[in-house]
Each structure stands twice: as C-alpha cells, then as structure tokens.
Chains A and B, each alone.
Chain A
C-alpha cells in the first residue's frame, strides 16, 4: 500500500481464554499491517474478536486467564508481545492510544477531568504541572469543549456522554500518538455526536498524521473514514481490502451478509428490504475446524466445514483485496444454482 515502513504489523496473533467451562478461542491467527496515516476499519459482530485482539496486542487482558500467542505484534519494529513492562508502559498512552467504547465508565469518577488529562502527560513527558494543565485546556479546546479552562476542574459526572467521549479522545491525543485505536468509540453516542466525533478524528488524523484503527459494527462509519476495511468473524479475518473494493465487490459471504443487513443503498437488495444473516455466531469454546461462517453460509462448500481457507488475493480484483473463502462468491451470485 505504501513504501513507508508499517506502523503496526500483526503476525499470527492468537488469543485464548481459560474459563471454568473450557478454553475460549477468541482470536485465531490474525495478521495485518498498517501504514502511517492509514485508517483501518475493522467490522464484525459481537464476539468476532475485534476488540479482544486490540486489548491482546497491548497486553491489557487479565493475565491469569488469557493466553496470547503469535509470531509478533511489531510496532515500528518493536514486538509488543515481548517487550518488558516499563517499555510497554512507555508506549501505551504515549505512542499507541485507545479510546474505549463506553465513555460513561471509562473515566475515573473521583478524579477531575483536568487531572485525568494531565496524568497522561505527566506520565510520559517531562512536563511541569502548570504546563500540563495549560496543555489539558488546549486539548479540551481542540476537541471542542466550551469553557475548557473551567471544565478541567469538573468531575466526569458533570459531563454528558458525548462530552466524555471527547474527553477520552483528548486524553488519547494528549501525547500525539502514532497510532489511535478507537474501539467502538462512537457506538454509545447518538448519530449527531457520532458524526462530530468522526469529523474530529479525521481532522486530527490529517493534522497529526497518525494511523487509526477504527473498530465498529457500523458499516456507514467505516465507509466514511476508513481506507482499508477488515471483516472479522469468529476470531478470524475473513476479508480485507480497500473500502470501495470490499463494499462494491464483496468476496466473502459474511461480508455480503453484513452489507445486506445494513440500512444503506450499497449492496442491499433492490426491494429495499434488509436481509438478516440467519443463525448465530459459533460457540468459541468449540471453535469450528473450518470456516467459522460455514454453518450460516448458504454458499458453503463441503470443504468449508473442514478446512479454514487461507487469506489470499482475490482473482481479478483490486490489488490488496484479500479474502478467505473456498467458494467464488461473484460467480455464485451471478449464476445461482
């Protein structure tokens, strides 16, 4: 995609959880890379492993019950999975920042907003308290919170949900990260606020030149902000490619299902009715041997159930458009049996 060295290179990331009812295979063999200034949109339904793989690569999962394996998660060449704790801490919140889904619970209720922003600055930069406070005000201004100088003295409960999400973004951007991960950052917000936050992130991305991973299950958001889209299901990547290519020429049945179930003119049936995906996601305590989507896939071949297809370049499609499927979706759609 670009000749510059990748910001992030994930190679074979696998996450398992030990639970009383067995081992849950949350993420299986996820690999991708992300260039600087690039926005990757990751979509998939609940339990597809999209949030977990982010927590896993930053080693934020509970240590006792999770097992993370992989050939490497290289951030500018440094393997996050093998870094010592102090070095990893110096990257978290400084060079890689995460904005979490729920702004109502992700802020510490007993610390002032200003304190929570200056804390990040003080942890990573050698900066005095007064300077950090001035910077906090500037950051709140930047995320368009009015009267920032007064509001830094207030507590999270004095802010609305959208405001808190802006605060979360201000905290995430405090150290000018090279990679911003928005984990369903706008899911809990109403559409107007969501649009404002997306515009804000786009604007800041242009100004700061950071790479963004935007995790969501809202295809409309992805269409608007992402360069590359990655579809995850059952802890695996099923399809990845430039947004236009994936939206107009989906090669995986699950991607098509997602597009058809989204209220959008792209890819939806001519009747204007939404088509739901039948069935439920697999029980990841007993992960399927083959393609995890096979049991819900009307086009599944016998091979799908027993062997996981590799992620490969699609035939006669856009370069960089990868799919994991044994079947040829465009051909099947053109000539239904």
Chain B
C-alpha cells in the first residue's frame, strides 16, 4: 500500500527541473539572453574592480598625453588603451570609473522607484476608489511633465550632485512600476485565492504583503530590467547636460559632452564612453527581453 502511494505520488526528485534549472535551459536556447548577461556582467565587473583594471588615475591631468591616440593593440593594452582626452586623462580609466557612477546612480534610482512605485501601485490597485484615483492622477501628471524640465528644476534648486541625480531619476522612474503593479493587482484582487485568504481571516496588511506581493514578483522583475535601461540612458543624458555628478568625477555622459568639441582632434574621446553607454543599455535590454519572454507563459508553453 505504502509502496504504491509513494510511487504514484509525484515527489521532488533531483531530476525534476527546478525553476532555476529551467531558466538556465531556457537561457541556453536564447542567444540574446546570453549576450545580454555577458555584457552586463562585464560592465559590472569593470565597475567593481575599477581600481585594479585601470592603467592610470582617471582624474590625473597629463598635458604630455593630450589627445594621445588609443594604444590598445594585439600586443597589449599600452599606456592609454582608449587614448587620452583634451587634458591628457586616460579614457579607459575614466570609462571604468564612469561605470561606477552610472551603476550606482541608476541602480539606486531603480531601487527607490521600484519600492515607491510598487507600494503606490499596490495601494491603488487594492483599495481602489479615491486612493486609486489620487495615485493614478499623480502618475499622469508625472508622465505628462517634461522630464528634462523636471530634472533641471530639481538640480537648479537642490544643486548638482550624485544624490540629487539619483532622486531625480527615481522621481521619473516610479510611475511605470506603479502602473504595472496597479494593473496586476486589479486582476489578482478578483482571483479566487484572494477570497480564500480573506476567508481564513487575513487582514489587509497580510493580504498585501503575503498574498499579493509574491504574485507581483514576475512583472516587477521584467519592468525593473527594462526600466534600468531607460534610467541608464537618462543618467547619461543628465550628465551630458551637466545636471549630474560635478567634475572632475568621470561620468559617461559628461565625457560625451566634453569630447564632442574635439571630434576633429580625437574621435576616441567621445567614441569610447558612447560605446560604453550603448553596450550597457543593449545588454540590460537584452536581459530584460529574455526575462520578459521567460516569464511569459504564452511564449514558454510546451517546454
């Protein structure tokens, strides 16, 4: 008796694909996902290990090296692998340190906008009525307001530094989270297990945190990856306009802004930070796309 029950009962045998394993298998068949993850990991690695991978101090001025061309070749890195800018600063080192700024600012902004957006979206979707109307009108106002103007205002009032840059980006980013989470909550609220949860005596807080939030993980992860790409681009734009981190700290956007004046003297001054921005956004978008497809049951069925 016990034998048959045991053999019939599906058990968690080691061969059963876990979600992680399944994700890995799916990744193996998704070239874009692999490339995206590789790009992101490379850039994160450079940012984390910047002091070890750079060839020179990123803010050290050396007029002897003014507009030194890229020294990278099959033979090796050389002294200035990506060349030097108008003040003789090493572009490779500045790109590596710029990755730190971009990563820290955009990830912090992502985290803040995620927390704020998910919270407000949950409240709007769950409670509905006046709460919903107020929060959704706020997102409407936010989305209708030109973000560059908003950024300019905030920076003009508060001053240009990394904290304010992060806050501005978070202010721009939260609306997407709020909208997606609200929509998802509206549909989850009508599901049978929500009535079950209330029938076992769960209060609003318990339902919000224990029953709704875990169900929102998938859409939030997808929005977060796609949103990260947007925030990286915005961060670069704000730095380009001089609304970001103050000089001499290296940032990709500012390097573009400074280097565009010297396109004639050295194409490498703008090219490498530009490529860094492009590659990072490409990588993040590819990861986001892979995640979106991975979590989409319609695309994944049959496997």
Q: Give A contacts to B, CB under 8 Å.
A: 55, 58, 60, 64, 85-86, 89-94, 97-98, 100, 102, 105-111, 119-120, 123-124, 146-147, 150-151, 153-154, 158, 168, 171
Contacts and interface: CB of A to CB of B under 8 A. Distances in A.
B296 to A, nearest CB: 16
B210 interface: yes
Interface stretch (B3-11, B54-62, B79-87, B95-103): B3-11
Nearest to A101: B192
A106 B199 CA distance: 11
Contacts of B201: 89-94, 120, 123-124
Nearest to A104: B192
B191 A111 contact: no
B193 interface: yes
A100 B217 contact: no
For the complex of A and B, the 4 pairs showing the least CB-CB separation, nearest first, are A93-B200, A93-B201, A92-B201, A105-B192
B191 A105 contact: yes
23 contacts: A58-B199, A89-B201, A90-B201, A91-B201, A97-B199, A98-B199, A100-B196, A102-B192, A108-B193, A108-B197, A108-B211, A110-B214, A110-B217, A111-B211, A111-B214, A123-B201, A123-B202, A146-B6, A146-B9, A151-B9, A154-B12, A158-B12, A171-B200
B133 interface: no
Given A98-B199, A108-B211, 14 more contacts: A58-B199, A60-B195, A90-B201, A93-B200, A93-B202, A98-B196, A100-B195, A100-B199, A105-B192, A108-B215, A146-B2, A151-B9, A153-B12, A154-B12
| B interface residue count range (under 10 / 10 to 19 / 20 to 34 / 35 or more) | 20 to 34
B25 interface: no
Contacts of B202: 89, 93, 119, 123
A110 B203 contact: no
Contact of A119 (B129, B195, B199, B210): B210
A55 B202 CA distance: 15
B22 interface: no
Given A146-B9, A158-B10, A60 B211 contact: no
B260 interface: no
A93 B195 CA distance: 12
Contacts of B191: 105
Given A111-B214, A123-B206, A146 B199 contact: no
Contacts of B203: 85-86, 89
Given A108-B215, A123-B206, A153-B12, A92 B200 contact: yes
Contacts of A64: 128-129
A151 B197 CA distance: 21
B206 to A, nearest CB: 7
Contacts of B195: 55, 60, 100, 106
Contacts of B10: 158
Contacts of B200: 92-93, 97, 119-120, 123, 171
A94 B199 CA distance: 9
B291 to A, nearest CB: 17
Interface in B157-213: 191-193, 195-203, 206, 210-211
